[in-house]
Amino acid sequence: MHFWIYLDFHYRDLELPMKARVTVTLKNGVLDPQGKAIEGALGALGFAGVGSVRQGKVFDIEVEGTDAAKAKTELEAMAAKLLANTVIENYRVEIVD
Amino acid sequence: MKSAVVVFPGSNRERDMVAAIEKITGHRPVTVWHGDHDLPKVDLIVIPGGFSYGDYLRSGAIAAREPIMGAIAREAERGVAVLGVCNGFQILCEAGLLPGVLMRNAGLKFICKEVELRVETTASQFTRGYAKGAVIRSPVAHGDGNYRTDDETLARLKGEDRVAFRYVDNPNGSVDDIAGILSEKRNILGMMPHPENLIEPLNGGTDGKPLFEAALSAVA
Q: How far apart are CA B188 and CA B124, in angstroms?
A: 9
What is the percentage of chain B residues whose pLDDT exceeds 90? 94
pLDDT score of A8 more than 70: no
pLDDT score of B220 more than 60: no
Q: How far apart are CA B210 and CA B17, in angstroms?
A: 14
CB contact under 8 A, A33 and B103: yes
pLDDT at A97: 80
Number of domains in chain B: 1
Q: Which of B101, B102, B146 to mutate to test the interface with A (most CBs of A within 10 A)?
A: B101
Q: How far apart are CA B169 and CA B173, in angstroms?
A: 10
CB contact under 8 A, B61 and A34: no
Which residue range is the domain that position B197 belongs to? 3-217
Angle at B182 between CA B181 and CA B184, to 5 degrees: 135
Q: Across the interface, which of A30, A33, A82 has its CB nearest the CB of B61?
A: A82
What is the percentage of chain A residues whose pLDDT exceeds 70? 85
| pLDDT tens digits, one per residue of B43-71 | 999 999 999 999 999 999 999 999 999 99
Residue B111 near residue B63 (C-beta atoms within 8 A): no
Q: Which of A22, A25, A81, A82 to mutate to test the interface with B (most CBs of B within 10 A)?
A: A82
Widest distance between CA atoms in chain A: 76
CB contact under 8 A, A88 and B103: yes
pLDDT at B1: 80
Number of other CB atoms surrounding residue B55 within 10 Å:
18
pLDDT band at A7 (very low <50, low <70, confident <90, very high): low
The pLDDT of B121-149, averaged and rounded, is 97
Question: What interface predicted TM-score (ipTM) does this complex get?
Answer: 0.84
CB contact under 8 A, B173 and A33: yes
pLDDT band at A13 (very low <50, low <70, confident <90, very high): low
Distance (Å) from the alpha carbon of A13 to chain B's nearest alpha carbon: 33
CATH of residue B167's domain is 3.40.50.880
Nearest CA in chain B to A82: B61
Chain A positions in Cβ-Cβ contact with residue B61 (cut-off 8 Å): 82, 85
Q: Is B142 a catalytic residue?
A: no
Residue ranges per structural domain of chain A: 16-95
Single-letter amino acid, residue A71 = A
| pLDDT tens digits, one per residue of B5-49 | 999 999 999 999 999 999 999 999 999 999 999 999 999 999 999
Number of other CB atoms surrounding residue B117 within 10 Å:
25
Distance (Å) from the alpha carbon of A81 to chain B's nearest alpha carbon: 9
b/e burial code for range B166-192 (CB count within 10 A of at least 16 → b) = bbeebbbbbbebbbbbbbeebbbbbbb
pLDDT at B50: 96
pLDDT at B203: 85
What does the CA dihedral B176, B181, B184, B185 come to, rounded to 10 degrees?
-150
Q: Classify A16-95 by CATH class.
A: alpha beta
Q: Across the interface, which of A34, A81, A88 has its CB nearest the CB of B101?
A: A88
Catalytic entry in B66, B86, B94, B120:
B86
Number of other CB atoms surrounding residue B165 within 10 Å:
29
